Structure 1
């Protein structure tokens, strides 16, 4: 009986939430899509790819609302009291639903790990193609149109009732180069596409053509003016055509990679960081321990360069034991070499330190995304654990009650998840804690609610504005 109550609300709310998310997507990105002459298939494909992340948000939310409504209605109608009186425990009642939650969690885990990264990757590539596409051919009165190479078009007026009719048209033709620009002016014109929309035909009436020289005249200084009653121009629209790149090529980020690929990257980054740490340890261990070189006067053994102690003049005396007995020139060389060696060592240490920091940050970012894929999938089961006992406890199965509670719970969950991701990305907390904190808190809440409902404890537990009964009801 319990399983029969859930599919309807889950499907209904899933469809409603998906519709709202699609509308939000269109409202947000419609300005980027309109006016570029994009094929309907490309726009549809973009929406389909973005349905993946919408589904990730909508499924847990719809599960939560459905559980609140179904079990709230079960308690409100008194059916739960009858079931409990018949000796059916809370666990016996809900275990089939929890089994469905486990299966749904497994499906969402696969979806988040396989389908979502590929959909994000293809959506990003398609977005790049759309942003690089030029706006479609669209003339506006009083505004120069320069969307076509080698042409600039100005129209003074376009009748609203006849958008293909043009009044007072000026066209600057640069096909012969800027020096030999051709100016075409006409009182009227008409637009139409030919060759399957690949070419634009402009029929001009009652106008003139002004140009410095006609093509092939051999006289660059010759000016020509031609009057016409009708002039036909063909312009290629290839520059405005939407071109697709290969959807399977491009650089992938953490949002577009599978868990196995990210884990391989994490392992590689850990190895790089460990090599950098070993390099630092080696540098520190070998500080000042390089053996002397008899062939290098700067690194030669001191005893080979030192004179007898009696011959050491005050000017050659040094407070540093290693420099005593050296002449001034050799002493300066030794000091310069030591400074250069110190700078080189410092540079190597800083480079290794940056490598350690960079690899650790990158590895944490990938770990965050790995944990996120599975924590969001588990939210389906967590929301069932919360929604079932909460619905039985408040004994309200109305739409407004379920939607209000679900919105509050989901907002708390999402804010906790997003902030946990930010803290983990910045290194304030470990990645697993940042991504699982929301599930841990909600799981504890669900366990406490189940305890209250199972043992019929916590009679004082209530939500006043939800537990009020309408006038006339017991």
Structure 2
């Protein structure tokens, strides 16, 4: 009986989980392309490149899609069982809530392990490939698109304008081509008609021009003697190189050292290296300031900072009045050097400190996003058994509410870590610290058949306390005794 019960629970869970997971991935991928739509449109990308982008984006959103899928499918599973009174039958047979939650609990723990392996090994590679591809696409020039009455300037060294394009998009009228000559003047080609053709390999653009003039000027900027040539032609062929419009592939090594591209082991090494910044900058400051403040090298535990009055009095006693202007200028110069050195080192120290926080943030994130599958299961399973509503309506509402809470807390934690408001150990676990007690509370309420989301319970409660409110209202409105 117990094996059949486990099969029943798992069968009710697997279907909604797979469906919600792929729907979530699809929605998050659409969100990414909606964000970068301006960088992708008009670049003439082929289907293979677009397919690569979809695969890489889909892989990067898996850590966020898994917890949401577990949450929604858990609510739907136990909501369906509660709506069909199967939960009532299971409880009447003496089986406690935790027992029929056990198979999905094991699945959620398994998903935590899978999520960690994915976050640690596959996600860095996906981030690396996606950032490299995104960099290439953003920096790619727009595809060749010649419009009537407008200059096209994306081919280096040329500006092309056509008066009219025929319906076949190949025959052109009133063509003007400016060819930039950096030695002297720009060369100009004017043609009444032309036929445009792109080579099969998309590397060259061929213009077959007819009935036109080619205007050139020869000479040197160092001389006033130049030669102007105006050449008429019946037919002229002009070839443009389109290699600058092609998608260039950047090496992966450009992004390899980014903190998002590292595994836990690589992050450990980077963090160990970055944690030496305190000793590094202390020694660096001692070395750079020793020429301006020599006594720094001789400080010991017996050193005691003199008061301002004593320092001023002793300096007046030592330095003659005639030497004060020169001494002041030298002091101001030394202080300017010290200030500049401190500002440069401060900026470098802040950058390295932020890099250390970001590395620790990603290190913790690999564990928090994995454990989120179990935390959201502890919320979804008892929540479904309490609301006892199946389908996609009510479960989706509750799933969205709790997922938005999880998403906001997770983003707030990241923001606090980046701005050094919270330590990475607190900021990245903020969502877990808050949602885990809520999950335990919901499990407790579900085990005791709570009516937390039953409107009839609140209606009956209000009916019981309504006479009490009426008596208070009457007593406050009654006239005072004479």
Q: TM-score if structure 2 supplies the norm length?
A: 0.78
2:209 maps to: 204
Distance (Å, rounded) in 1 between the aligned partners of 2:179 and 2:284: 65
Q: How does 1:322-361 map to 2 (within 5 A)?
A: 328=320, 359-361=352-354
Distance (Å, rounded) in 1 between the aligned partners of 2:271 and 2:346: 18
Q: Is the 8 A contact 1:401 1:466 kept in 2?
A: no
1:262 aligns to 2:251 (yes or no): no
Match of 1:166 among 141, 160, 172: 172
Distance (Å, rounded) in 2 between the aligned partners of 1:179 and 1:352: 48
Gaps in structure 1 of 5+ consecutive residues: 291-317, 469-474
Q: 1:179 to 1:352 in 2, by over 3 A?
A: closer
Q: Is the 8 A contact 1:277 1:352 kept in 2?
A: no
2:474 maps to: none
Shift of 1:172: 2.2
Q: Is the 8 A contact 1:389 1:450 kept in 2?
A: yes
Q: How does 1:295-334 map to 2 (within 5 A)?
A: 328=320
Match of 1:223 among 224, 229, 233: 229
1:34 aligns to 2:27 (yes or no): no
Shift of 1:189: 1.7
Q: 1:269 to 1:463 in 2, by over 3 A?
A: farther
1:106 aligns to 2:119 (yes or no): no
**Can you list the C-alpha shifts for 1:4-24, whole angstroms capped at 9, x where unaligned?**
111111111112222222223
Q: Is the 8 A contact 1:122 1:248 kept in 2?
A: no
Gaps in structure 2 of 5+ consecutive residues: 1-7, 220-224, 287-294, 304-310, 460-482
Distance (Å, rounded) in 1 between the aligned partners of 2:51 and 2:333: 63
Distance (Å, rounded) in 2 between the aligned partners of 1:430 and 1:213: 68
Q: Is the 8 A contact 1:170 1:184 kept in 2?
A: yes
Shift of 1:85: 1.1
1:374 maps to: 367
Shift of 1:33: 1.8
**Can you list the C-alpha shifts for 1:157-198, whole angstroms capped at 9, x where unaligned?**
223x32222121112234x65635432222222211235322
Q: 1:279 to 1:341 in 2, by over 3 A?
A: farther
The number of equivalent residue pairs is 431
Match of 2:397 among 386, 404, 415: 404
Match of 1:286 among 292, 296, 299: 299
1:21 aligns to 2:28 (yes or no): yes
1:434 maps to: 427
1:424 maps to: 417
Distance (Å, rounded) in 2 between the aligned partners of 1:79 and 1:345: 77
1:68 maps to: 75
* RMSD of aligned Cα (Å): 3.7
Q: Is the 8 A contact 2:215 2:228 kept in 1?
A: no
1:12 aligns to 2:5 (yes or no): no
